[in-house]
Amino acid sequence: MSGESGGGLLVAGTTSDAGKSVVTAGICRWLVRRGVKVAPFKAQNMSLNSFVTREGAEIGRAQAMQAQACRIEPTALMNPVLLKPGSDHSSQVVLMGRPVGEMSARGYHGGRREKLLGTVLECLAELRGTYDAVICEGAGSPAEINLRRTDIVNMGIARNARLPVLIVGDIDRGGVFASFFGTLALLSREDQALVSGFLVNKFRGDVSLLTPGLDMLEDLTGRPSYGVLPFRHGLGIDEEDGMAVSLRGAVRESETAPPAGEDVLRVAVCAIPLMSNFTDVDALAAEPGVLVRFVDRPEELADADLVVVPGTRGTVRALAWLRERGLADAILRRAAEGRPVLGICGGFQLLGEHIEDEVESRAGHVDGLGLLPVRVRFAREKTLTRPVGEALGERVEGYEIHHGLADVLGGEPFLDGCRVGAVWGTHWHGSLESDGFRRAFLREVAAAAGRRFVPAADTSFAALREERLDRLGDLIEEHADTDALWRLIESGAPRGLPFIAPGAPA
């Protein structure tokens, strides 16, 4: 490796959800398998799916997943700025793993963002001084010309850190050639000098039919394509900015075995506003015979064996939404009938007796659904922990991210929350990833629902994640020009890349 610091690459995209997160993870897994010491990095992330590191820092789940692809522990250095939307106009700003306040989009882009560039570059420099390579993920598109002046996550960081840039395009959406060319042509001369080539994602069909277009794109831009990644079902990698499924659709396009017992279990997840860490139900969807879907109507709870009320960045808002939709009444009827309900984090809070919130919604006293003997008070300090405990006779690991403090006044203890009949509530995200506990919990659900469902004895969620990360690594190894990709990471952008008019507006 040349120079005092390790090599690097910025994976940008023509759009949001072009595949930057999974391509970054795939490159990381390919590199670590060839013996490279590698780390992920995303300067600024906007996501309601977050994770708690061992040192108690909150970062985006996508970066935690990418760290797993690198076979290293995630740290705050890998995602120094995390924005957690609380409305259409404002977000909580999490800096180096700790919340530092709420800010409007105008306030953030109007000055605060630029001031964070120094912190971002310091984090990246520290990672590059420690690892052989750092694979950075951009956000949205680098050609968002309205935001270029304050950009710290796309070309702003590429320019300052002299990172070569690979642009990923989702061909499944159509228009990928125009997107590649237009993205490049809207960048300034200095930014274009770092854009080294393109990577096509989610291709279906005969790649030979695409080759003439790739050749023409190279003739037009002077930049090669580094590969064509085929469309793959069932990767199930942690999402960042939103659900990769339509509402009332299956939570994952999973490739799972038939049920071990005679019945399947149907799980309905309430698609509440500002839903956070909906990845909690991925472990359920991974179980053979468990069907998970998101719902937003009360009649969709009728055939569900388990209803999950997930986490949210707006507990009081979610509670009002459940009542307006008629879902609250449906949940109350389920509980009265002894039919299973699980509340996680914000979902747990709204199942309680009442909420005192002068922090998140500033609504003051709000009555909850009253299904659990719990009273919640919102504190300004955020709880960020990695608890370990036991439930249903099994060891459980999880993580907590919440402002609400729960005073549990009764019921059976359950993961620092409680259980009353068939209603469970806990602040612990990730608990269902503990295999033994998940199986024990599903047996309880099946018994309460009267289903002859039997959990598979050998499902390992951790092993399934590893398998999916390996499949991403395989995609890069088998369908990308890995020799050229390594040269790019090691040596930087080629010199003399041509400028494509018109460039960024003055």
Q: How does residue 238 score in pLDDT terms, banded at 50, 70 and 90?
A: low
Neighbours of 254 (CB within 10 A): 19
Is the full-model pTM beyond 0.85?
yes
**Separation CA 416–CA 345 (nearest Å):** 11
Amino acid 105: pLDDT: 66
Compute the average pLDDT of residues 382-389: 96
The pLDDT of residue 242: 45
Q: Kind and range of the H or E element at 374?
A: strand 374-385
Position 476 confidence tier, pLDDT thresholds 50, 70, 90: very high
Q: How far apart are alpha carbons 220 and 459 in whole angstroms? A: 50
107 pLDDT band (50/70/90 cuts)?
low
pLDDT of residue 250: 46
Contact 272, 312 (CB under 8 A): yes
Q: Are strands 133-137 and 38-41 parallel, antiparallel or unpaired?
A: parallel
pLDDT of 140 higher than 50: yes
- 455-463 own/partner pairs: CB under 8 Å, 24+ apart: 455/260, 455/287, 456/257, 456/260, 456/287, 456/288, 456/289, 457/260, 459/286, 459/287, 459/288, 459/435, 460/435, 461/282, 461/283, 461/286, 461/432, 461/433, 461/435, 462/433, 462/435
The answer to whether residue 244 scores a pLDDT higher than 90 is no
The closest alpha carbon to 219, from 498, 504, 503, belongs to 498
pLDDT average, residue stretch 240-254: 44
Cβ-based burial of 279 (10 A; exposed 0-12, middle 13-18, buried ≥19): buried
* Backbone Cα Rg of the chain: 23
What is the Cβ-side half-sphere exposure of residue 494, based on CA atoms within 13 angstroms? 13
Q: What is the pLDDT of residue 240?
A: 55
Quote the pLDDT of residue 272.
94
Enumerate the active-site residues: 345, 429
pLDDT (0 to 100) of residue 247: 39
List the structure tokens of 142.
């680098």
- Selection from 274, 316, 269, 265 nearest residue 296 by Cα: 269
Give buried/exposed letters for 65-103 (b at 16+ CB in 10 A, else e).
bbbbbbebebbbbbbbbbbbbbeeebbbbbbbbebeeeb
Closest by Cα among 148, 179, 32 to 199? 179
Write the pLDDT tens digit of every residue in 270-303.
999 999 888 899 999 999 999 999 999 999 999 9
pLDDT more than 70, % of the chain: 92
Q: Is 281:271 a contact under the CB 8 Å cutoff?
A: no
> Distance between CA atoms of 238 and 244, rounded to whole angstroms?
10
Provide the pLDDT for residue 246.
36
Task: Provide mean pLDDT across the span 171-199.
Answer: 97
State the pLDDT confidence band at 4, using cuts at 50, 70 and 90.
Answer: low
The reported pLDDT for the residue numbered 253 is 44
pLDDT digit string, tens, across residues 412-424: 999 999 999 999 9
- Averaged pLDDT, 303-324: 96
DSSP code at position 16: T
245-270 average pLDDT score: 68
Percentage of residues in the chain with pLDDT exceeding 90?
Answer: 83
Q: How far is CA 106 from the centre of its chain?
A: 24
- What is the arithmetic mean of pLDDT over 224-249? 66
Residue type present at position 84: K
The SS3 of residue 94 is strand
Q: How far apart are CA 200 and CA 123, in angstroms?
A: 30
CA angle 78, 84, 90 (to 5 degrees): 135
Mean confidence (pLDDT) of the chain: 92
Q: Per-residue pLDDT averaged across 366-373, rounded? A: 97
pLDDT of residue 162: 96
**pLDDT exceeds 60 at position 182:** yes
pLDDT band at residue 245, thresholds of 50, 70 and 90? Answer: very low
Confidence of residue 2 (pLDDT cuts 50, 70, 90): very low
pLDDT confidence tier of residue 110, bands split at 50, 70 and 90: low
The pair of structure tokens assigned to 316 is: 């009081």
Give the C-alpha separation, 493 to 222, whole Å: 13
pLDDT at 248: 37
pLDDT digits 0-9 by tens, 55-100: 999 999 999 999 999 999 999 999 999 999 887 778 899 999 999 8
